[in-house]
Amino acid sequence: MSTATTDPSAELAELGKFFTIAARRIDAGETGPEMFSAAIDAAWHALVADPAAHEVFALQHAGRRLTHVESKGFGPIAWVAAYEEAYGPLPEIWFTDADGAVNTEAVTQYRETGTVIAEWDCGPKPGPGDGDDLTPAASYL
């Protein structure tokens, strides 16, 4: 593993792209995408700490409220092809932990195979007031 210097705006830029992909998946009747990047998830958690800012960010990037929910799993990341079609290859930040260490083995595997096999523990769901009343209003974390 190597250590990367990360810029918080890079994490937020990628979170915005992730939210856009989430909205497209939800609109297509698919499950929300898996959040497998600890670095980007840390930025998401920081944003969730300010519910008003989180709502503005989600509306800007997903066109709806999104709620951060626990969703554990391991396997192929289903949304990578949609990301690549919209934005190009995943940047290293997706393979970076919350401390800034890049998992170079995972980056290499992705670059060689075009697939990401990873563990995740959360993802987005439509939030309250966007037509999905299954998510409790107080559930921002």
65-91 pLDDT, tens digit each? 999 999 899 999 999 999 999 999 999
Scored b (16 or more CB within 10 A) or e, 31-66 reads ebbbbbbbbbbbbbeebbeeeeebbebbeebbebbb
Q: Is the pTM of this model over 0.75?
A: yes
Three-class DSSP category at 132: coil
pLDDT by residue, tens only, the chain of 141 residues: 433 444 568 999 999 999 999 999 999 999 889 999 999 999 999 999 999 999 999 999 999 999 999 989 999 999 999 999 999 999 999 999 989 999 999 999 999 999 999 999 999 988 765 443 333 333 333
pLDDT at position 6, please? 47
Residue type at 113 in one-letter notation: T
pLDDT at position 127, please? 72
pLDDT at position 32, please? 87
pLDDT at position 135, please? 35
pLDDT at position 141, please? 35
* Cβ atoms of residues 117 and 77 within 8 Å: yes
pLDDT at position 8, please? 62
